[in-house]
């Protein structure tokens, strides 16, 4: 049973997803083309995101020239002169307008075989972030939805159960501009040497920038015009889940929020975390509603019907939390 993870860790999962997107150069621009194509996905699962073996660094030169000699590329004198820095600044300049992105990130193992993938919808304005995640290839699974906002100079992240109109919030630290920095739009210079090159993806040449961090992780950002189209992260070694490559395709990037950054408190039942703990296979979550009433949720993993909710008087009120069991 994974109800504890569904209820208590969806916020962390969302933050990690955002970090993964931005680590390889997610940024601003306008609507991008499709440009995908199935790669070698290591099994029956087919996704319209190029596999790592579909990326070929053909060296220096312009896109129209089809690349040049050498595969490292031309060194970029300073981060401020990179294409990445240009669109980061462009996005920062549109904080009041907002940003809307649709993209897919796919994980591959050391053999470049498909492991898993997630489709994302991200919207952000100056103080709000909306993120919806759904597994690649799934039309029936319930998406995870997170909304981040600032209340009284405090950052809050809410897991949204949109069908049931329930929001579960967790408090975080906040500094001015924190939300934008969290999704990777900090103006700080990358402390790595960047290179300009041309990378072919499924045989199509793209202007690209690459760099390697101090851990040996390689980053590739492919551009369509002034915006990213594909990004690829290659770890020096597989991580604990056996993942060595992350490939992202950006399908839509626009300067708007499409109305998704309107905090949907009206009509929502709002709970906030008081505490979470776990002992063995038993997790305990304490939530408080807006009236201050507390509810204790106990989840015993691996046990059928192992979720129980009690109010402050010890009464069992599990039926009032069907949204938690259904995840929507």
Which band of pLDDT confidence, cut at 50, 70 and 90, is reported for residue 317?
A: very high
- The pLDDT value recorded for residue 64 is 43
Give strand pairing partners of 100. Answer: 123, 254
Segment 126-148, tens digit of pLDDT: 888 888 888 887 666 678 888 88
Segment 258-292, tens digit of pLDDT: 999 887 667 889 999 888 888 888 888 899 999 99
* pLDDT mean over 243-267: 88
- The pLDDT value recorded for residue 277 is 86
Q: Nearest 5°: CA angle at 307, between 304 and 308?
A: 135
Which band of pLDDT confidence, cut at 50, 70 and 90, is reported for residue 41?
A: very low
**Contact residues for 57 (Cβ-Cβ < 8 A; gap 6+):** 71, 73, 197, 198, 199, 208, 210, 220
**In the chain, count of helices (H) and strands (E)?**
5, 17
Segment 82-122, tens digit of pLDDT: 888 888 888 888 888 888 999 999 999 999 999 989 899 98
Q: Is residue 192 exposed (0-12), middle (13-18) or buried (19+ Cβ within 10 Å)?
A: middle
Q: How many CA atoms lie within 13 A of 254 on its CB side?
A: 12
Which band of pLDDT confidence, cut at 50, 70 and 90, is reported for residue 174?
A: low
Query: Which of 31-35, 70-74, 86-90, 164-168 has the highest average model confidence (pLDDT)?
Result: 164-168
- What average pLDDT does the structure give for the chain? 76
CA distance 140 to 146: 19
With a cut of 90, say whether residue 12 has pLDDT above it: no
* DSSP alpha helix (H) spans, the chain: 3-8, 10-23, 83-92, 178-182, 322-326
- The pLDDT value recorded for residue 15 is 34
Q: Are strands 154-161 and 166-172 parallel, antiparallel or unpaired?
A: antiparallel
* pLDDT mean over 155-172: 85
Measuring CA to CA, which residue among 63, 87, 78, 48 is closest to residue 247?
48
pTM score: 0.76
Which band of pLDDT confidence, cut at 50, 70 and 90, is reported for residue 22?
A: very low
């Amino acid at each position: 049973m994974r109800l504890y993870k569904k209820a208590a860790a969806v916020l962390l999962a969302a933050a990690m997803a955002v970090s993964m997107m931005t680590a390889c150069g997610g940024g601003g621009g306008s609507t991008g083309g499709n440009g995908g194509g199935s790669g070698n996905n290591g099994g029956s699962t087919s996704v319209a995101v190029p596999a790592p073996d579909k990326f070929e660094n053909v060296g220096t030169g312009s896109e129209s020239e089809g690349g040049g000699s050498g595969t490292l590329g031309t060194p970029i004198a300073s981060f401020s002169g990179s294409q990445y820095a240009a669109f980061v600044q462009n996005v920062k300049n549109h904080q009041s307008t907002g940003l809307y992105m649709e993209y897919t990130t796919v994980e591959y193992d050391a053999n470049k075989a498909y492991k898993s993938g997630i489709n994302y919808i991200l919207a952000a304005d100056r103080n709000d972030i909306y993120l919806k995640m759904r597994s690649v290839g799934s039309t029936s699974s319930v998406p995870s939805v997170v909304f981040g906002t600032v209340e009284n100079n405090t950052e809050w992240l809410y897991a949204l159960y949109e069908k049931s109109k329930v929001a579960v919030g967790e408090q975080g630290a906040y500094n001015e501009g924190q939300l934008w920095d969290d999704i990777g739009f900090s103006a700080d210079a990358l402390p790595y040497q960047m290179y300009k090159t041309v990378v072919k993806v499924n045989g199509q040449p793209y202007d690209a920038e690459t760099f390697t961090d101090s851990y040996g992780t390689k980053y590739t950002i492919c551009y369509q015009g002034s915006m990213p189209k594909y990004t690829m992260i290659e770890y020096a070694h597989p991580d604990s889940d056996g993942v060595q490559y992350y490939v992202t395709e950006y399908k839509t990037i626009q300067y708007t929020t499409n109305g998704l950054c309107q905090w949907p408190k009206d009509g929502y039942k709002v709970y906030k975390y008081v505490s979470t703990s776990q002992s063995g296979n038993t997790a305990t979550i304490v939530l408080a509603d807006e009236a201050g009433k507390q509810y204790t949720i106990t989840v015993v993993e691996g046990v059928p019907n192992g979720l129980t909710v009690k109010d402050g008087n010890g009464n069992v009120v599990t039926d009032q939390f069907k949204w938690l069991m259904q995840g929507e």
